[in-house]
Structure 1
């Protein structure tokens, strides 16, 4: 599966989900779709999934996650990126082009208003879970490899004036 096919698959999972804005619902839908596939097709989803996770492993996006979720550990940033993937290619692409654009996303505004974290941990395990359900075994080791790039944080996330400078629209949501 290539990256374009991956995003078509995510769009299909979103369309079939009970709630396309809920990453757990999108994850469940993705697993259900994959359950009708051959095990090698399921396993092939892991490489592009890891690829988009690596692509989104960036300091500016981590800053946005930190601001939106009131902090972001290593795991928290992974889960945030799982949420971001569950929102589809367009939202993902806009966030990578300009993390501050997340301030315009209704799901971000709703989460900030309600004091909720944007967490899509379940999205990170869709391939493992679908494969386990289909085959009754763990996904073979070494199925996919993607080296994460070096990360440049660029600024101190605890410095509110730096956050306002780098993420002005997101910062305004917290005033």
Structure 2
């Protein structure tokens, strides 16, 4: 299976959700769609999902998560990227290319105004492995997932407000300016 096929499943899950911005519901619906597939097709999606996780691993997106969620640990960044997967291909690709575009999303704007919840979805991050376990009873996939997160190089201080405003001006307005 390919990245395209993974995104098609996410699109179907989002279409069937009462509220497509509800990450947990989209993740649950994606899991149900995956568990309806034969085990070998589920296993074939592990690499595309890993590739998407790798593609979204970068300082700019991490700082966006930091601003939106009021802080962001290593695990928090993993779960934020799980949430981002539930938002669909277009949003994901746009955010990976330019994390500041997350300021356009109504759910991000709602967090900026109301606060009180983080944009995270741990269950989506491992949805392929969870589906594999449900269908086969095994936690071991038949094929190893290959690849590593890229070396991010030197980062910057996420607490530096001037740097945040320079790198993510629209998100900074939402989350830093009063």
For these two proteins, the number of residue pairs brought into alignment is: 175
Partner of residue 122, structure 1: 123
Instruction: Decide whether the 8 Å contact of 2:82 with 2:125 is kept in 1.
Output: yes
1:57-112, Cα deviation, whole Å (9 max, x unpaired): 00111111111111111000000000111100110111112111111111111122
Moved over 2 A (4+): 16-19, 139-143, 152-155
> Is residue 131–residue 138 contact of structure 1 (8 Å, CA) maintained in 2?
yes
Looking at structure 2, the residues matched to 139 and 15 of structure 1 have their Cα atoms a distance apart, in angstroms, of 31
**Alignment TM-score, normalising by the size of structure 2:** 0.92
Task: Give the deviation of 1:142 after TM superposition.
Answer: 5.0
What TM-score does the superposition give when structure 1 sets the normalisation length?
0.94
Say if 2:142 is the partner of 1:144. no
Residue 53 of structure 1 deviates from its aligned partner by 0.5
* Structure 1 residue 16: Cα displacement: 2.2
Relative distance call for 1:114 and 1:152 in structure 2 (3 A) is farther
Moved more, 150-159 or 58-67: 150-159
Is it true that 1:161 corresponds to 2:162 in the alignment?
yes
Match of 2:2 in 1: 2
Mapped to 2, the partners of 1:167 and 1:14 lie a distance apart of 27
Label 1:100 to 1:30 Cα distance change in 2 as closer, same or farther (>3 A). Answer: same
Moved more, 138-147 or 110-119: 138-147
| Residues in 1 aligned to 2:58 and 2:24: alpha-carbon distance in whole angstroms | 24
How many angstroms does 1:154 deviate by? 4.2
| RMSD of aligned alpha carbons | 1.5
Task: Give SS of 1:173's match.
Answer: helix
Give the corresponding residue for 1:21.
Answer: 21
Structure 1, gaps ≥5 residues long: none
Question: Mind listing any 5+ residue stretches in structure 2 that lack a counterpart?
Answer: none
Q: Could you say what secondary structure the match of 1:42 adopts? A: helix
